[in-house]
Amino acid sequence: MSDKKATLKIDGIDEPIDLPIYSGTLGPDVLDVGGLTGKGLFTYDPGFVSTASCESQITFIDGGKGVLLHRGYPIEQLAEHSDYLETCYLLLYGELPTAEQKASFVGTVHKHTMVHEQIRTFFNGFRRDAHPMAIMCGVVGALSAFYHDSLEISDEHHRQIAAFRLIAKMPTLAAMSYKFSIGQPFMYPDNSLSYAENFLHMMFGNPCEPSNISPVLATAMDRIFLLHADHEQNASTSTVRLAGSSGANPFACIAAGIAALWGPSHGGANEAVLEMLQEIGDVSRIDEFVERAKDKNDPFRLMGFGHRVYKNFDPRAKVMKESADEVLAELGIDDPMLEIAKRLEEIALSDEYFIEKKLYPNVDFYSGIILKAMGIPTSMFTVIFAVGRTVGWIAHWNEMISGSYRIGRPRQLYTGYTQRDFTPLDQRKPAG
Ligand code: CMC
């Protein structure tokens, strides 16, 4: 890759240690620290702030400049000219499809939208008031119990079928998890509809009436899926890679990714944004919440602000904001919650604390607003993120499995007890 190297001089070790440096096509050089183990040393980087965990050709982010590229194409161009399934093809195969390749890919996704009929029965094991993300963690993992013919991870054909099944069935399962929670019958997919239309049909349709899907909402939904499609080695994608590195099947790996996504620091933030706006309740209380966010002794954070990688405007957030404005104007929505969101954005963007720490509104801030305007229930926000991100998870998992990889096995800085002898039960005293 490169003949550059760094030389490390460590107190107490006579010989300097040479560490190779690799250059990618974009982004900072990386230091290969693999050789340190042989010298009795590990590196220490909690939160993986400066650790490249793998080599990848799928997505590139320059957080300082606010750049996001999928296979080299800027997210803004994809959002304007492409659609979700075409972007899925790009992420999976590395190139934009020809018209023929696109038609074939879309056709195959459409053919896989139905789920095994016994999965309907499986849903009955959940409590009626289960959170849809809890259902998704369980049901997606359970797909491995239903589709035994796509579990052989060393077989490229099996991996392809698993990819199609996951991309195609996620909207069906997502809509089922919502229908289950409101006690309505599950809707079968309608394969004559586009990916986003079909999702809205299964979410909001019912068997007694023809579905009436707004083209404005379908376009906005497609864009939301597209903007969430991939984001390089984020927490959930890294989780999928780590689970996959042990040789686990793709459905189990994606279920692990869904679990990692659920947290409020990651995909759960879009739901948390709406909960926060509801808690603020009125424009007059915004200052109070901004002050709390700045208080070191208060664990409260402004949800939808800040990002580990972006120290500039998240380019997805820019596009999402435009979409939010379009949807709100088209639908003529007048919601006090949106007024609070707009004011909060203005205040945070001009506040010294947020400016200094480079805490910009992130994609979840605007996706929460737009999904609310579209009439999507708050509990489904993170599920929708998971539907869109499935292709990214699968693309990274497939990239890893089809290349050379080792089981992911981080080390630690141990600060617990040194070795001590077992104390018999009758001689123990309360600790401390
Ligand atoms: N409100 C108030 N202060 C914040 C916020 C916030 N939302 N985010 C970061 N800070 C402060 C933080 O307290 C710290 O201050 P100090 O340097 O004085 O200790 C500084 O900014 C750096 O924060 P950090 O926690 O070290 O940064 P991180 O990279 O570990 O965390 C984050 C990134 C996204 C988890 C964090 O910004 C956060 O909790 N944001 C709110 C949750 C959110 O919106 N998450 C969605 C992320 S975008 C969607 C996705 O890709 O998943």
Pocket of ligand 1 (CB under 6 A): 231, 234, 265-267, 269, 293, 301-308, 357, 359, 362-364
Give the global pTM.
0.93
pLDDT tens for the chain, 432 residues: list them: 567 999 999 888 888 999 999 999 999 999 999 989 988 899 999 999 999 999 999 999 999 999 999 999 999 999 999 999 999 999 999 999 999 999 999 999 999 999 999 999 999 999 999 999 999 999 999 999 999 988 999 999 999 999 999 999 999 999 999 999 999 999 999 999 999 999 999 999 999 998 889 898 999 999 999 999 999 999 999 999 999 999 999 999 999 999 999 999 999 999 999 999 999 999 999 999 999 999 999 999 999 999 999 988 899 988 988 888 888 888 887 778 888 988 999 998 899 999 999 999 998 898 888 898 888 999 999 999 999 999 999 999 999 999 999 999 999 999 999 999 999 999 999 987
Are 114 and 93 in contact, with CB atoms under 8 Å apart? no
Nearest CA to ligand 1 atom 34: 307
Beta-carbon contacts of residue 265 (< 8 Å; ≥ 6 apart): 235
* 296 alpha carbon – ligand 1 mean position (Å): 13
Q: Please identify which residue in the block is written with the tokens 């979410």.
A: 203
Angle (nearest 5°) at CA 405 between 403 and 410: 150
Are 205 and 187 in contact, with CB atoms under 8 Å apart? yes
Beta-carbon contacts of residue 69 (< 8 Å; ≥ 6 apart): 26, 59, 60, 61, 75
Q: Where are the alpha helices (DSSP H) in 183-268?
A: 195-204, 215-227, 235-245, 250-262
For residues 348, 354, 360 and 365, what is the CA-based torsion angle, rounded to 10 degrees?
Answer: -50
Which is catalytic among the residues 110, 112, 266, 396?
A: 266
Which is catalytic among the residues 222, 314, 351, 364?
A: 364
* 109 alpha carbon – ligand 1 mean position (Å): 36
